[in-house]
Copies of this chain bind each other. A is one copy, B any other.
Amino acid sequence: MAEQTPPVPKVLAFDVFGTVVDWHTTIAREVESLVPGIDGDAFALQWRQGYAPAMAATMASGTFRVLDDLHMDILRTIAPPLSESQLSELNRAWHRLDPWPEAVAALNRLKSRFVITPLSNGGIGLLTYMAKRAGLPWDLILCAEVFGAYKPDHRTYQGVARVLGVKPEEVMMVAAHEKDLDAAQDAGLQTAYIERVHEFGAKRTKDVSPSPRHPLHFRDLAALADYFGC
């Protein structure tokens, strides 16, 4: 039996950290400006490494906390030599992440044809302030906080379709992370992979080999816009 061609999507849902914005560069730069002599590269990696376990623990507890609070918990375990107010200021660096160079122009092109929304584990406030500063032209802000669950919980992916009144297969998840796309596909969404070779810093190269599960595979968001002819 021939596979059915999926419908043209109506909604594009974007992972944000790594896919749309460059968390590593911004976090490294901000901590280096606050703590002279610190290794910003290692610090950024360490902070980010605490993220998945903190989310898993939160979901296992049956409660929901916004990512800002998890970020602060992790930051306290790293314990850089900073005052309370400096810690708070540094924690808000996640609201100030710089977009990848082509991201804003590409999102504006895609917005002309699709509803574009983040689907991030960041909170509503974090994503709003980030978008306002960086010029990310989202049509709306959807995220873990709206659905009361973190990705890869299916409530997040299917929630996008539900609140926008479309079928799951009319939503395309766009991400630089295969696990995110795997879960989105299991939840019924279409998927597109974005290469971000230097997500973890200029010193290291991420394996961005194409996966058979996600044949739509693009160098960046501009290439995704080219694909759709936007």
Chain A residues engaging chain B, CB cutoff 8 angstroms = 68, 115, 123-125, 127-129, 131-132, 138-142, 145-146, 163-165
**Choice from B128, B131, B163 contacting A164 with Cβ under 8 Å:** B128
With A131-B139, A139-B132, A146-B146 as contacts: A164 and B125 at CB distance below 8 Å: yes
Q: Shortest Cβ distance from A148 into chain B, in angstroms?
A: 10
Residue among A138, A141, A142 having the largest count of chain B Cβ atoms under 10 Å: A141
CA distance A69 to B164 in the complex (A): 14
The complex is assembled from copies of this chain, and their number is 2
Can you show 26 pairs from A to B with CB atoms below 8 A apart?
A: A68-B165, A115-B128, A115-B129, A115-B132, A123-B163, A124-B140, A124-B142, A124-B163, A124-B164, A125-B163, A125-B164, A125-B165, A127-B140, A128-B139, A128-B140, A128-B164, A131-B139, A131-B140, A132-B139, A138-B140, A139-B141, A140-B140, A140-B141, A141-B141, A145-B163, A146-B146
Whole-angstrom distance between the Cβ of A30 and the nearest chain B Cβ: 18
